[in-house]
Structure formats: C-alpha cells, structure tokens
Structure 1
Amino acid sequence: MLALIYISGACLQGAIACGEGFCPSGLICVVEKDDAPACVVPTSVNTCGNSIVDDGEDCDDGNREGGDGCGSDCVHCGDGVLAKDEICDPGLPVTISCIAMNYDFGRPGCISSCDDLSAIPCGSWNWRRQERATLETLRGVWGSGPQDAFAVGDNGAITRYNGQDWQAMPSPTSKRLSGVWGSGPKDVFAVGTLGTILRYDGQDWRAMSSTTLTTLHGVWGSGPQDVFAVGTLGTILRYNGHDWQSMASPTSAEGLADVWGSGPRDVFAVGTNGTILRYNGDSWQAMTSTTSADLRGVWGSGPQDVFAVGDGGMVLHYDGQGWQAMASPTSEALSGVWGSGPQNVYAVGVEGTMLHYDGQSWQPMTLPTTFSAAEVPLSTEGVPLRGVWGSGPQDVFAVADQGNTLHYNGQDWQNMTLLTSSTSVEWLNGAWGSGPKDVFAVGANGTIQHYNDQGWQAMDSTTSALLRGVWGSGPKDVFAVGTNGTILRYNGEDWQAMSSTTLTLNSVWGSGPKDVFAVGDFGTILRYDGQDWQAMSSTTLTTLNGVWGSGPKDVFAVGDFGTILHYDGQDWQAMTSPPMEVPLSGVWGSGPKDVFAVGVNGTILHYDGQDWQAMSSTTLTTLNGVWGSGPKDVFAVGEFGQLLHYDGVSWLKLNSTTDRILFAVWGAGKSSFVVGEGGAIYRHTRTVLPR
C-alpha cells in the first residue's frame, strides 16, 4: 500500500507549503511516495474515487465503478479482472478443474481475498467416507445448510460439520442421543435416553426439562416454538416455545421411533409393529399401515408424499389416500429415510444398506469399501448406517457406527466393464439407447451388448465384423454399422444384416426409422428411406468418422483433415472449419445453432449457426466422442481415459478413474454411458441435471 504523508507547513496568508508551492486555505497537501505533492480537500482523503491510492487501496482511478481495471472499493479483488497478484477473482469463473484439488468433478470457487481457490463447489463420485470426529456410534443427523450439519450419538456424542470437516462439540450429557433437528443454525434440539432433551443456542448445548424419563428416539418441528419428540411407550411431547408438554397418544404399548411433518397441523410418527400415527392439529390418530414390521424412519416431501421405512427392508408410501408397500431391493432392516424431493429419496440400513429412489424404483447404491475390519461387526456385511439427511440433492450425509460419516455430492460413477463368455475382452466403439434402461454398445468381432437395468447381456449379432457405430429410432428399431459395409438392424427380437456398400462405415444417425444416414471411408454417405440404402454424393473422398443432425434437413458429418459437411435436405456441402486440418472423430449438437465436433490433439470445435470456432479443451489428448443433454451439459471422451465436461462456461476435466481409451458417450435422463478399450463401460448418474 502507498503511504500518504500529510504536510502542514508554515502559513502564508492562510496557505500551507506544498512542494515548491503552497496550498490555498482550506486544502491540505498530500504527497504519495512516487508522485508530486498535491493539494486536496481534506474530506477526500482516504476516499475511494479521489484519484489517490490511499491506505487500504490497491488502486484509484477517480471513480467507484467496477470492471474498468479498478474495483468499486478501489481494490482489485472482486472487480472481475485477474490482477497480477491474484490467484483468482470472484468476478471471474475459475478455468481449472477440481481434479487439480484431488476431487472428481466441479469448478473451484475463489475465496474472498482472491489469494486461494475454494473447494466448496468441488465434488467426489459416489458416497465418500469423511474424517471422523468421534468413535461413538452416531444415530441422527440434521443440518441448516451444506456448511452446517449436526450429528448425535452414543454417550452424548455431538459433532458439527463446517463445510470442511467434522468437529466434536462439548456435550452436557453422557446419555445416548438418537435424534436431532433444528429450526436454524442457532436453534437445534437433540433427544435421547431417559427423556434427555438438549438445545443449542448458537453458543452452547444445554439440557431442557422434558417431563418424562422414557427414551426419546425422534424429534422434528415446524418452527422454534413448535417441536415434537417421540419415544418408547407411545410417548409424544410437544414444545411450545416455553416448555415441553406431554400429548395424548393413541398407543402406550408401541414404541415410536421417528417423527416428521409437513406443517404444525400435519405430523406423522412411526414405530413398532407397523405403527403409524398422524396429528391433524387437534389430536393424534392411528393410521392403517398395511405392515406389522417395525418402522424406524419417516420423511415426506409434502402431505401427500410420505415415506416410512423399517425392518425387513420395508418401504411404505403414503399418497394422501393410504399407505402402500413399495418394491424394495433389500430384506435388511432400514433405519432412516430422507429426500430432497419426491424423485430423490434415500434410505439407510443397519447392514450397511444404502438405497435410492428416483421416482420410479428403489435401487441400491455403491458405498465405499475403505472401512477396516475392526470397524465392521462380524455379524454384518457393512458398517451399520443409522441416519441420513441432506441440504439438497447434491449434498447428503449418512451417519454410522464408530463415528463414521459418509457424504454424497449427487453424482455416481460406476465401473460396469465386462468380460465376454470366452474371457477375452472386446473393444467397444459405440453406444446408444432408447432410455437409461435400454442401452446398446457395439464393438470388435461383432460384439453387441445390451443393458436392461438388470445388467449387460451379449446379443447374437450374426457377424464378426468390427462394429463402429449404433443408433436407433426406438427400442425395437436399432441400426449398427461397421467394417466391410456391415449394416445390422434390430427389430426387438433379433439382429439382421442389411445390404449396403463394401466400404467401412464408421457412424450412423437418423431422424426417424425411414430416414437414416451412415458415413464411412472415402467420403461414403448412405441414406436409408425405409426401403433401401442409397449412396449419396458427398463432395469428398476423405474418410468420414461421425454423423449427427437436428432433423432430416440439417445433418452434419465430420472426418479426416478437419472435414465438415452439411446436408440441407438437398445436397451435401463442405463447411469452412478452423485451419487445423486434424482428423475429427465425432459430432453432436443440441440444435442447429449449437453443434460440437471433437478430434485429434484435444480439438473441440463449436458451430453457432454461423461459423465453426475452436474451443479451449484443456487437453492435447485425442478425443473420440461427444454427446450432451443440452447446450450447457456436454461431455467429450478420448484416449488415456480423458473425460471432459462443458457447462456453458468452459470445458473442465472429470475423473474417469481409468487410463483406457474411451471411444463413445451417450446418455438419457440423468444417466450417461461411456464405452471404450477392453470392453470398458462406465455409467454416470446424477440426481439433478444442470439448468
């Protein structure tokens, strides 16, 4: 910072000396280290916008406008311009990937001082174990946001997550704590054995008078002055902002394990022998639950969408009319349930079970395998999970025995790599599906694999040709192309050969079952009209490697030497591309004015409806395939396991967890599939798609 020196010299008719002259009365002399003395109004000293770099300022250009090289507060940090002494600026997107910070995906943030990157926006694939703050069993978890969560457990254990790590908190009790809920970060309740109720006020945890000695298992509230707690012997307590009072319960024989509500006049409690109670604002009433299994957890997205889980893998759903059992993929006891919405719900179990509901079905999730043998009870297959909670679909916590906590960032990356029945591994070159539960992958020696949500199964292709591309108009109409002019068609029952050229075909795409294009060596372009394949004039002899279109009158083909062709419904015309002349291997677009092409040396080109422009890909590795769900959600894959993602701002590297060559990517809904060398198949699943 430049120091300012104030000089008040000898008076000369009311003036003060300033350098070789004087300042008139009412002004003062300001001298900067490297500049000549200046006379200024006293009130403008240490004021941003006075054209003088005062103490605490990085710059001062005579105004308080940002974005012109000097920020509105006369500091560079936050002005949207990266200064030479800044690592980053909050006004600019960070262009490196979170991989550089040992995460799997994401774009780092910039801390407020502009001198370091923030890992808060970064994420890891799948569920990840976090560093422990206690060795006690944790039974309940709740938070006020992604950087503020509380977990409670045995022997009064209370831990808190600050966005970076879990830390133990001083606890006023040694009793086992089973449930936790709060109205905000400075108002949190925890309940446990012998009627224990604690409250956190932002400073300390303090015991509250609960009027009962029965064990309390669950707690939930609609606000700081309306909190419910439930426990053994049908105990129900309610806090009104002043004290806890017992409520009349329809049962005294059944224990209540959890409580949740959509509001103060709509609260559910569940417990032993299938007990389900509902509070309507006046009284608690028993509901028909359709099960006798002990229920351990309850959560809902609203009064007509409530889930309850319990022993034997039991999952019940309430739709506003009645409770119905849901198909469950496990018979193990489930101990907790939480969701961010009706199509994103999680359930955890005491055998280390983690289930996810996507609005269609419940599916098991992959958990980390890094638990040591000493932490896994011999009678179970995994560390028992006791509770689950999240701040949103990309921020979910689960708590477990031995103080373990797991965290989920909303994205799964699953290795589905296959071995064929002959134990040899065939390379897979193309992928396409009619949906996330109906996917085809094709490759060497006529390999065709089909995925139907139960697993991958080999199909009889009737050929030994190298298959390079696959596309279909629906689940019962799929085309595959390959060497020696091979074209196969699947009708929902079997694959049949179609007559065509003898030249190798590399890619196939169509606008419908009676309008399909295939491209290949020596500029070959074929078109299928529902009856026959016919050769088209392509205006080139260059090998074409990829084809895609937005419709029958807007089709793009790319190939060697940077070749890009466009079909407008009448004929094919060469397009002007950046002067790279590198082989292009794949093409995809979200529409006629948003098309991407990828190729050798990390080449990525983008067409905006007017021109093709080169994009910065952050890699020199050859890219083989490209696909996206929209203009701000595009993936590219290539050699050495290269996996890139474009979010509408820039391309960022993702961790593919492999060094294998990746040839193609395709997806639908919230799932995408990547295939490649050695039969490699990876599935990427996200709980939410980018907006």
Structure 2
Amino acid sequence: MTQTANPDRRRFFRQLLDGANPNAPQRAAWHRVPEVGAGDGDVLWSGWAGDGEVFVVGDEAMVLHFDGHADAQNRLWKPMETPGNLPLHDVWGPSRDHLFAVGWMGCILHFDGTRWTQQYGGLVDDESQAFIACAENTPLFAIDGNASGHAWAVGDDGMILHYDGHAWQRETSPTYINLRAVACTPNGGVYAAGGEGTVLYRAPDGGWQALDCPLSSGFQAMLVVDDDTLLLGGGRYFVDQGGFRGELVRYANGRFQAIEVDTPMPRLRSLRPYKDGVLIVGDRGYLFYLRDFLTEARTAKPRLYQLESNCHHDLMDIVPLSTGEALVVGDFGTVMTAAPDFINVLAPAVSAASQKPRWEAMDSPTDRQLWNLWETPQGTCYACGEAGTVLRLAAGAERWEPLPAPTELNLHCVWDAGEGGLYAAGQFGQIFRFDGSDWQLHFDLHLDITILSMWGTRPDSIFAVGDEGLILHFDGLGWNRLPSGTASALYHLWGMDDEHLLAVGDFGLVLRYNGREWTDFAAGTENFLYGVWGNALDNIYAVGLSGTLAHFNGQRWNLLPIRVRDDLLSITGSAAAGAYAVGTHGCALRLENGQWLSEPTGTELGLRSVLATRSGEVYAVGDQGTIMRRPVRSA
C-alpha cells in the first residue's frame, strides 16, 4: 500500500539527500577570496553589493571596491579615497551611487558614485585637535534603510539618527543602552536592538518605544522575517565559561523566546537570509546555517549546522549577493565565500548553453518601428508602432496580418479589453478603439503629450501613462486624468490589480498606486527605467538604461549584476515561458535559476517590446518592423 509522505518524512529524506550534496548550504566549505587588498591588521566590518560591484568598509576609514576590473597595480579589490581615518562599522544604500557608511565618533560618509564625503560626526576642537565631547560624536555601529530612501543609524548611548532623504536628524530614543543593530520592515516600521536585551520599535507614523524583552542578551544582530517577526543574535559573558556564549532569540506575536540549539556558539555578529535558511557568523571564525527558519518560523527547535570555515578570526558581517551566494567579512582582512568562483557568482558569465540560437525571425508585414505587444486571454497577439501600424497574430497562426490604421500618428501601446474592444494610443494623447471592423477616436487629450503605456483589469478600468507625468484612468464612462505628482515621463505601466500598480520613468522614477493615490517608490537608481513586470508583489523587476535591472523582493529594491550594458527597453514573463528582457542591439536576457543570462537573438536591431505568452512562446518587436520569436522552450 502506498502512503503520501507527510511533511516530517519529506523533511527527513530531504536532509538525507542534502547530506550527500557538497553544494548544500550546510555542507559547502567556505574559503577566503583571493587578492583582497586588506592587511592582516585590518578589521573589515561590513559591506554592500549591487549592480555587479562590492564595497567593503573597515578600520581607518577603509573602503575596498570590487567591480571585476583590476587597477594599474593589478588589484581587483581597490582601496578608495575617503575623508578622515575613523573606523567604518556598517554601510547601506539604495544604489551604488547613493551609499552611506557609519562609524566611530558619529562619522557618516556618503558616496555619490564618484567620491566619498563626510556628512555628519567627527567634530574636532580647532585648538586641541581632539574630538569634542558632544552627542554628534557618539559612535555609530549599524545602518539600514527602506525602499523610500529613508535610513536609520544607531549606536552608543541609545543614539538614533534618521535620514529623511535630505539630511540626518537625531530622534528621541527611549534608552541610553548601546544599540548595535537596526532593521526596517516591509510596512515602514523600524526595529533597533542592543545590550541587556534591549529591543526598540518605531511605528511607520510614530516615535520609538521599548519592547518588553525578559532576556538580557547583548544583541549584536537582527533579521526581520516579516513585519512582526524577528530573529535576534548576540551573546552574554559567562564567568564560569570564561567567555561569551552566543544566543539566538525569536520575537513573534509580541513575545520573545530563546531558541534552544544543541551546538555551542560564540558571540554572534550577523544574521542574513541564505538559501532558504539563515546564515550566522560570529567570533573565532564560526559560521552557522539555521535551516528552514524562514519557512518554518514556528519550529520549536530549528536545526543548526556548523559550517567549515578554516578560519579563526572574528567574523563581523555577511554581504548577500543577488545570485543567492554571500560574502563574509571580518578581522585580519578576512573576506570569505562558499562559491567556487566569486567573480562569476557576483556577475555570472554567459553559459555556453545560452549561446545556442533560440530566437528566429518572423516575416513582418511592415518596415515601421514597432513599439508594443499585447496578448488577449484567447491567445491573439497585437503589435503597434509608427504611422498608426497595428498588427495581429491570431492564436495558432504563423503570420502577422496588418489591421487598418486608426491614425497616421505613432501608436506606442495597445491593450485588448475583450468585449470592450481593442484600444491603441500614442501621440497627442489620442486613444482609439477597434470594434472588430472599424476604429473610432475614443479620447483626445488635445495636448502634445504622448501616451506610452496602457494596462487594465476589465473594460471599465483601464490606466494609461505617458509624457510629462500623464496618468489617465477609464472608468467605463470616460477618461479622467489622475494627479501623478511628477512632470517626468512615465514609460511603462504594470499591475497586479486595481490597487497594486507601478509606473516607471525618468531618472529611476517609480510610482506606486494603491487604489487611491500615486506615490514615489524609489528603485535606488538614477538611470531611466523603461519597463516593469512581476509575478507577485514581492517579486518585481524593472529594466532601463545601460543594462539597469532592479528587483523588488517585498522589502526593498536591489540592483542586480548583469554583464550587459545595452539599454533594456522591455521585460515580460509568464508561467509557461519564464521571464525575459530585451533592448538595444538585439539584446535579450532570460531568467534561469535566479540568474539573468544573455542569449543571442540573431539581430542587431533594437527590440522595443517583448511578450511572454500563456502558451510559452515569446515574441519581441522593434526597429524596422523586426519581429522575433522564441518557440516554446523544451522541458
């Protein structure tokens, strides 16, 4: 008789299989990254990774920069010029050209993509050249920020500083105990933690308050699991043991609970998500992997694995990489990874398999530039472009056919409302509707403003965006202009439903719609964004200028490292086809196993729009009437 495996049996067999897999998180050995430009006496405290680059900060205002290119002295990890010589303890930023590093004597440095400047702290008496005894010189040890660009830094004596997008200001703290960790939540809240079991919370629209933690651990690290669940790590000094003993604490449902583990731990320094679990680092080179905690947070006694590190130096922090791997930094210039090839993990090279041609050119009935693609639920595809061009590909058909042109003006977007008809829009804010035989002018803005993208949920709820911050909404009776709060161009529109829409545009602009109003949702880049797509509210991608590819994970935007510098103009995805992005010079990317890989399309012409169909085929259109097809991929 066959039995369905219950969760415990499945977990048991999975552990057996993983035990034989040297690449499983709890089995892979960690090793030092070669050629790190730090000496044996240097302490590396923290780091930041994004857009194919790594910044590591440490003592003596040290900042090491890695971008895969060696300098004139053949150094891959290049020391950057920074003001002062104060130790830097933590670094955070929404993008590589907007980073903050915090450290000793309240020092806050800012990197604008070109140079580091000092913004706060480090005040010195002019006569004695000694540091002034003042609140602004209070040492800072941790920083974190949210998707809106706000950040918080914490340090000794309960110090809390807030960056509101313009300047740093001190916030009233309910404690004078030293704070060593800070973390932002998806809903706009902020937690801070420190000595003597201190945990503070700041509501999105309120001040700081102390939570009632009955444990007296000295917290050094904190991981936000969700808005109301934390994992805290640290330790306490025990006289009978002659040293620190590491401790893990869970905060959930308003209650703190110590996590019992069988493995002795030293003082813990950092916690980060890692391969479906949590990576933990601590003193004396200890690394641990807490398995399944993120997916099984209610487990009374999670499984803790000690990892092979071959290191005896104190490990200070973990730097997650967008590919799922991570770096660990610490004392004596330590930079470690479990990845066999760090450079390829940071920005994966194109695999040989991805070089096999997968795209094929289709006969096109036009030589006009094509701007946009759309698919109906029935599988019919439409494309539109210059001089009123509208093309149709019936479900199962092999050839595109032209429809009558509704206008001589350029059409930049097309959207099918089912029984509500086919809509096309473009120059001069004009929107046309096709009833199956004839086109009619449906709306005229009477302004020299181009509509660039449309998206809707049903015939009586259609949105359109375009130049000069234009946002329109059709409610079944008429088109109404909505306030956007910007005069910048909005190039593309995507949504999950009427209360979850995103529009992207100039200089990294992202606007978010909640069903009532549009608000800024900064993606952490100043590059123009031309396309946005996702399959869940915590899995959204935006593409743009010079290979910009940003990912929103439900908490914040992260810039992903890819080896493409062409402009990415469109992004799409479906369950059957997967996710794709296209751009200038025939560029195409495919998402595979969490990595964006380049693949040849067979054309050097620009591809302006890409469509992943429900059946699994992918179409791309662009310059000179180009139409490319990627057949259904093999299993």
Q: TM-score normalised by the shorter chain: which range applies?
A: 0.3 to 0.5
Which protein has greater RCO, CA pairs closer than 8 Å, 6+ apart? 2
Structure of greater Rg: 1
TM-score normalised by length of structure 2: 0.45
